[in-house]
């Protein structure tokens, strides 16, 4: 997925391309190295007290979306004199009722995530992996660092690197979907241990990959890095892909309610289905909305895609 060094015509035609790729890979390496060291620090200093799940979803103050909105509002205030202002002040009674319902919902969502993992992770390990999203703003940093990988598709499409745009696009899209389509849309994933195992696998993979390509651009090829590049795949790929799949599963309602939900959607017609799609379903009540059905479909196809990717990755390393 990182920018592969090459001696293509594009490199010879544009003398600035190689310095750009060196800078891109170096900055990407630094970003993922920070994510890796922060993740390891979080695990080694745990277990941590879990922050409450944001009742604002993707626009919560700890989320990447919320921080982006805060940043843009700050720019507007400084550059154009726009006020971030408060439109109204809620009454004390409404604050009390909202807080009580939010706390109850937070406990329900965190209990749901933990119960799904009970069969897979020992409780002590789960405690050390839970809640990394809010630790030193790790979650938003992962979201924006992974979003920046969309440049990889541009590199491949323009011939700056010798990679298939389709292959790179699929690899990047799966991760961008995880951060924006799952993690940012469903705040209960922020406390899920699978988020930590996912970014741990991602960060080790990307640190190895970007270091490999950066040094190759500088005509260096350490044997230890070459070994890591081609052998850690057999551990990190199952860990990363498996964490992604089960993190998606954690936002889904009980499978027992799916048949009734499908009958309801069929009876309600396309108009109601479109309304549910626009509202991204009903996660608060753990209902099967359009969003949940789409995530469920991705969860099912994730496994054959995982098997195909593992086979192709193994062949490249033979």
Q: How confident is the model at residue 280 (pLDDT cuts 50, 70, 90)?
A: very low
Instruction: Determine the pLDDT at residue 19.
Output: 95
Q: What is the mean pLDDT of the chain?
A: 78
Convert the pLDDT of each residue in 57-114 to its tens digit.
555 656 776 766 666 655 555 555 544 443 333 343 433 443 344 444 444 555 555 5
Convert the pLDDT of each residue in 185-197 to its tens digit.
999 999 999 999 9
Q: How many CB atoms lie within 10 A of CB 224?
A: 7
Nearest to 241 by CA among 286, 175, 285: 175
**Catalytic: 34?**
no
**CA–CA distance, 311 with 12 (Å, rounded to integer):** 35
Q: Which of 128, 244, 291, 292 is catalytic?
A: 244
Instruction: Determine the pLDDT at residue 261.
Output: 65
Convert the pLDDT of each residue in 138-161 to its tens digit.
999 999 999 999 999 999 999 999
**CA–CA distance, 81 with 25 (Å, rounded to integer):** 38
Instruction: Determine the pLDDT at residue 255.
Output: 78
Convert the pLDDT of each residue in 14-62 to its tens digit.
889 999 999 999 999 999 999 999 999 999 998 887 776 654 455 565 6
Nearest to 277 by CA among 294, 302, 262, 296: 294
In this predicted structure, the answer to whether residue 252 has a pLDDT above a threshold of 70 is yes
194 exposure class (CB count in 10 Å sphere: 0-12, 13-18, 19+): buried
Instruction: Determine the pLDDT at residue 67.
Output: 65
**CA–CA distance, 20 with 15 (Å, rounded to integer):** 9
Domain ranges, ordered by start, for the chain: 9-251
Angle among Cα 64, 69, 70 to the nearest 5 degrees reads 95
The distance of Cα 19 from the centroid of its chain, to the nearest Å, equals 29
Q: How confident is the model at residue 9 (pLDDT cuts 50, 70, 90)?
A: low
Q: Which of 34, 230, 237, 287 is catalytic?
A: 237
**Catalytic: 244?**
yes
**Do 184 and 65 touch, CB atoms closer than 8 A?**
yes
In this predicted structure, the answer to whether residue 200 has a pLDDT above a threshold of 90 is yes
């Amino acid at each position: 997925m990182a920018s592969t060094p090459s001696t293509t015509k594009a490199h010879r035609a544009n003398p600035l391309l190689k310095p750009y790729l060196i800078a891109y890979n170096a900055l990407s390496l630094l970003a993922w190295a920070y994510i890796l060291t922060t993740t390891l620090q979080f695990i080694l200093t745990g277990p941590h007290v879990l922050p409450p799940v944001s009742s604002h979803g993707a626009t919560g103050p700890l989320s990447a979306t919320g921080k982006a909105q805060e940043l843009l509002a700050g720019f507007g205030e400084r550059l154009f004199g726009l006020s971030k202002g408060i439109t109204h002040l809620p009454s004390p009674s409404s604050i009390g009722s909202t807080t009580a319902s939010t706390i109850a919902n937070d406990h329900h969502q965190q209990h749901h995530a933990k119960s799904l993992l009970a069969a897979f992770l020992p409780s002590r390990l789960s405690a050390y992996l839970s809640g990394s999203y809010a630790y030193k703003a790790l979650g938003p940093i992962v979201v924006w660092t992974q979003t920046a990988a969309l440049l990889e598709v541009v590199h491949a499409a323009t011939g700056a690197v010798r990679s298939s745009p389709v292959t790179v696009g699929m690899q990047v899209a799966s991760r961008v979907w995880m951060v924006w389509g799952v993690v940012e849309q469903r705040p209960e994933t922020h406390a899920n241990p699978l988020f930590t195992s996912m970014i741990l696998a991602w960060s080790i993979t990307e640190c190895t990959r970007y270091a490999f390509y950066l040094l190759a651009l500088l005509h260096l090829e350490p044997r230890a890095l070459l070994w890591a590049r081609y052998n850690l795949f057999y551990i990190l790929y199952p860990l990363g892909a498996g964490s992604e799949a089960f993190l998606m599963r954690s936002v889904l309602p009980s499978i027992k309610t799916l048949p009734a939900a499908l009958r309801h959607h069929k009876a309600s017609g396309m108009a109601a289905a479109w309304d549910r799609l626009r509202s991204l379903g009903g996660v608060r009540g753990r209902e099967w909305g359009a969003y949940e059905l789409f995530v469920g479909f991705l969860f099912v196809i994730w496994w054959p895609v995982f098997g195909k990717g593992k086979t192709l990755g193994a062949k490249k390393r033979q």
